[in-house]
Amino acid sequence: MKSLLLTRRSRRNRRNQAIRDLVQETSLQVTDLIQPLFVVDGNGGPEDVVSMPGVSRYCVADLVNQCETIASLGIPAVAIFPKLDASLKDETGSHALEGNSLLYRAVRAVKKAVPELLVITDVALDPYTSHGHDGVLSADGSKIANDESVALLARLAVMEAEAGADWVAPSDMMDGRVEAIREALDAAGFPDTGILAYSAKFASAYYGPFREAVGSLQAAGTAHLDKRTYQLNPANGREAILDALLDEEEGADVLMVKPAGPYLDVIRDLREQTLLPIAAYQVSGEYAQIHAAARLGWLDLEKTRDESLLAIKRAGADMILTYFAADLARAWAE
């Protein structure tokens, strides 16, 4: 057969691994990863999160051990989420402001043992409220009270900084909370504490396993708690960019898109609108569905994991919160 007379043969740049490595446009590094971790009170062994294979809740001592391992793998940061006993929850999330609560003890222990590890703490009330919402209810219980919630969140952020958090991460989606937190941190003597804002957080169906992990679905009585009055409509990409840019104006140091995989277009659009670093959270449902399909033999776990994370990085994320972080770092270290 006569060869085609082609000036451009794209396959030349795919011919072998050496060439493919040289022309690769996007790369994923261990230093791009943030490992989310769950902490519980007590001294018992790890508690498996059933809907998230390979993910556990750790007591403070075991959490410290995990953080030491994570740091040794080269992962630069962890995000810590507490699971509280139901007896400590109430409608106002008052235990969030208890100075010796689980989260603060965990942060102090981790920073003492692994001071070089960047510790990120969640600024939201859903782990602490009996209703499972990220803010407090209005007097008549009909809605989430924005301004009252923001006042509490600013106090929570300061207490997290006092415990040693390097970055505080407001995930509540209340209006004006980034500015209030920045002002509160500065006034309290924490001008160097960063704010990683959950700037484009959607009212997503992908959060169910996380709510099991922190116990907020039990508090609310359902895994499908309706948070649409404050989290973003999944249909609205432009609104997501608007919210993110408002957070930038209010003093956020890093902007986050959550979930990551279903919202790659939002990551890309935000990348074109800001010079700030962008974080993306590959959430519990994304992680769980990859594991579930792999267990059924429908997908290759490692290849799907790696492709999903590479896609998030390619879309424009500078850092990725993922439950795969430690596993991926171990795989790269082998």
Which residues are tagged catalytic? 201, 258
E strand segments, the chain: 33-40, 47-48, 56-58, 77-83, 118-123, 167-170, 194-201, 254-258, 278-282, 319-322
Q: How far is CA 244 from CA 187, 219, 314, in A?
A: 24, 29, 19
**Residue whose pair of structure tokens reads 């009585």 in the numeric block:** 221
The pair of three-digit structure tokens given for residue 107, joined into one six-digit string: 């942060």
Longest distance between any two alpha carbons in the chain, whole Å? 81
Q: Rounded to an integer, what distance in angstroms lies between the CA atom of residue 64 and that of residue 176?
A: 34
Is 269 within 8 Å of 317 (Cβ atoms)? Answer: no
Closest CA to 270 of 312, 309, 305: 312
Q: Rounded to an integer, what distance in angstroms lies between the CA atom of residue 233 and that of residue 227?
A: 10
